[in-house]
Amino acid sequence: MNALHQYLFDSYRADSLGEPAPPAPGTHDVAVLRAVRAHRRAERLRAGRPAHGPVRTTLRRWLHRGH
């Protein structure tokens, strides 16, 4: 069973019980990703490491190598 099937079952059950329908799959994905990113950044700052990840640091180093 995938997320869409579960959503359809939950919607049917909520409708038959007179409860509000659950949110559609993927509704809060962007908010969750932003929260995870903010949490990881805060953890890096608390640990005394740079807030930006290694990918950004490496790209900056490559781009500014010729200057």
Identify the residue with better confidence: 51 or 61: 61
Which residues 6+ apart lie within 8 Å of 21 measured at CB? 10, 11, 14, 15
Whether 49 has a pLDDT exceeding 90, the answer reads no
Is the pLDDT confidence value at 12 over 90?
yes
For residue 59, what pLDDT is reported? 83
For every residue of 2-35, DSSP letters joined together read -HHHHHHHHHHHHHHHTPPPPPPTTTTHHHHHHH
Task: Name the residue range of residue 52's domain.
Answer: 3-63
Instruction: Give the count of domains, the chain.
Output: 1
